[in-house]
Amino acid sequence: MDSADWTDTVAEPEEADGKMNQVTIIGRLGKDPELRSTTNGTPVCTLSIAVDNAGNEKGEAGWFDVVCWGKLAESVCQYLHKGSRVAVSGRLQQRKWKTDGGDNRSVVEVVAFAVDFLDPKPQGQDTPQQQDSAPAQSDDDPFADGGDDPFA
């Protein structure tokens, strides 16, 4: 593994460049990532990400379900944990199904094609190999020291 800056981007090859269905969210993991495998052995990881709802008078976070596949899923589960700050780029996907009782259900989730690890690198920990260039961390980030960040 490369020991580049911890603000790495881990991306799947099929990015949504130029497509209309694209979303980017920045927030913190609400719980540890969950890694599973499909019946054919493909890794899949699910995340629950809290984002700051600016302007929300109650100060409540918005929550997004995120799904990562393949090598992206493995890297995310290896290096992230509850409280990790991330930027996720992906596409929205709606899944629909019927319960055993006949009720219709649906969920909208983000299918990630890139995950940026935004926390500083822990001492002595290897980082995933950088596959895309990550944006440089700005020195004028008002939340860099955890000051007014409600998720710090």
Q: Domain containing 111 — which CATH number? A: 2.40.50.140
Number of domains in the chain: 1
* Residue 14 covered by a domain: yes
Residue 30 lies inside a defined structural domain of this protein: yes
Q: Residue written as tokens 């393949």?
A: 70
The structure tokens 């260039």 sit at: 133
Contact 62, 80 (CB under 8 A): no
Angle at 55 between CA 53 and CA 61, to 5 degrees: 20
Query: Residue 99 falls within a domain, yes or no?
Result: yes
Render each residue's pLDDT in the chain as its tens digit; 152 residues. Answer: 444 444 455 555 455 556 689 999 999 999 999 999 999 999 999 999 999 877 667 778 889 999 999 999 999 999 999 999 999 999 999 999 999 999 999 999 999 999 999 988 777 666 554 433 333 344 444 444 544 444 44
Burial class of 105 by CB neighbour count within 10 A (0 to 12, 13 to 18, 19+): exposed
Boundaries of domain holding 79: 9-117
In a domain, 102, yes or no: yes
In a domain, 148, yes or no: no
Give residue 12's pLDDT.
52
